[in-house]
């Protein structure tokens, strides 16, 4: 695991070596266990907003007893990094930790391989390079008992969200972490106008906060990750 890589962060609710930093109570009810070299920082932000904990494992040895001991609700696995058959691994995990949702990350997007993973019990499949939106949507689907397979947004999905040029500017600045005041200054508009644009964007995207709006905008191709 390369924690010094640009794609890695150390957020307040990340678990390292079994220690939860930044959360000293029982607010974080779901643990996401990750067997992967990189975790997008936006995903960690999304989890933190929902009081979900993240544990990045330092080895790619997927141990059912470890998953069971940590009571992980979700497990994300980069199956390309494993020296075992991916479908067999997922099938074994489903048998040994049936309450845990298994999500696979892979560079192989061919239909037969993806189908082998879902038929083996994967609750989600995210094809690399994984957009954080796809990882989040996979988790959301798993929470709701659905199966999710990532892919580019369809024309229908893209057509469903129509935004103005000004709304796009606001959205891009939101995605880059700018506050309402900062957005107003950059676009020479008032904070109230920025708030009005944000409200319309949230409604069009079906989002309740900035993090969700950005994720959905990435998914539909309105902004680039």
How confident is the model over 116-127, as pLDDT tens digits?
Answer: 999 999 999 988
If one counts the domains in the chain, the total is: 2
Same domain, 89 and 199: no
Predicted local distance difference test score (pLDDT) of residue 88: 96
Predicted local distance difference test score (pLDDT) of residue 208: 78
**Residues 67-73: contacts with CB under 8 Å, at least 24 apart:** 67/33, 67/93, 67/97, 67/100, 68/96, 68/97, 70/18, 70/31, 70/33, 71/31, 72/31, 72/32, 72/33, 72/97, 72/100, 73/29, 73/30, 73/31, 73/32, 73/99, 73/100, 73/101
Same domain, 122 and 43: yes
To which H or E segment does residue 199 belong?
helix 191-205
Same domain, 59 and 138: yes
2 falls within a domain: no
Q: What is the CATH number of the domain that holds 111?
A: 3.40.50.2300
Same domain, 144 and 179: no
Separation between Cα atoms, residue 60 and residue 37, nearest integer Å: 9
6 falls within a domain: no
Separation between Cα atoms, residue 12 and residue 45, nearest integer Å: 9
Name the nearest CA neighbour of 32 among 21, 48, 9.
Answer: 48
Residue 63 has pLDDT above 50, yes or no: yes
Domain termination site, one of 109, 130, 149: 149
Q: What is the CATH number of the domain that holds 159?
A: 1.10.10.10
Predicted local distance difference test score (pLDDT) of residue 14: 40
Domain boundaries, position 177: 155-219
Same domain, 69 and 160: no
Query: What confidence tier does 209 reach under pLDDT thresholds 50, 70, 90?
Result: confident
Same domain, 38 and 134: yes
Same domain, 164 and 91: no
3 falls within a domain: no
How confident is the model over 76-118, as pLDDT tens digits?
Answer: 999 998 888 999 999 999 999 999 999 999 988 888 999 999 9
Same domain, 75 and 160: no
pLDDT (average), residues 123-135: 77
Domain termination site, one of 149, 173, 190: 149
Predicted local distance difference test score (pLDDT) of residue 160: 58
Predicted local distance difference test score (pLDDT) of residue 120: 96
How confident is the model over 150-190, as pLDDT tens digits?
Answer: 765 555 555 557 889 999 899 989 888 899 999 999 999 99
How confident is the model over 190-206, as pLDDT tens digits?
Answer: 999 999 999 999 888 87
Predicted local distance difference test score (pLDDT) of residue 98: 95
Averaged pLDDT of the chain: 79
Same domain, 28 and 93: yes
Rg of the chain over all Cα atoms, to the nearest angstrom: 19
Residue 105 vs residues 32, 135, 164: alpha-carbon distances, Å: 14, 9, 34
The count of residues in the chain is 225
5 falls within a domain: no
Same domain, 52 and 78: yes
Same domain, 116 and 142: yes
145 falls within a domain: yes
């Amino acid at each position: 695991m390369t924690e010094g890589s640009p794609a890695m962060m150390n957020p307040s609710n990340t678990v390292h070596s079994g220690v939860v930093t930044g959360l000293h109570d029982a607010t974080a009810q779901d643990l996401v266990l990750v067997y992967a070299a990189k975790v997008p920082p936006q995903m960690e932000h999304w989890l933190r907003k929902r009081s979900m904990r993240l544990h990045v494992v330092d080895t790619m040895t997927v141990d059912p007893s470890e998953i069971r001991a940590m009571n992980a609700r979700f497990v994300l696995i980069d199956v390309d990094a494993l020296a075992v058959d991916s479908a067999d691994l997922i099938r074994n995990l489903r048998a040994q930790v049936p309450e845990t949702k298994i999500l696979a990350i892979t560079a192989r997007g061919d239909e037969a391989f993806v189908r082998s993973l879902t038929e083996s019990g994967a609750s989600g499949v995210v094809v690399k390079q994984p957009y954080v939106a796809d990882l989040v949507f996979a988790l959301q689907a798993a929470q709701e008992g659905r199966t999710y397979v990532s892919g580019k947004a369809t024309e229908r999905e893209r057509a469903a969200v129509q935004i103005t040029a000004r709304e796009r500017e606001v959205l891009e600045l939101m995605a880059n972490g700018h506050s309402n005041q900062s957005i107003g200054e950059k676009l020479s508009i008032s904070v109230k106008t920025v708030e009005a644009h944000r409200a319309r964007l949230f409604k069009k995207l079906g989002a309740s906060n900035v993090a969700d709006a950005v994720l959905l905008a990435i998914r539909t191709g309105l902004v680039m990750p």
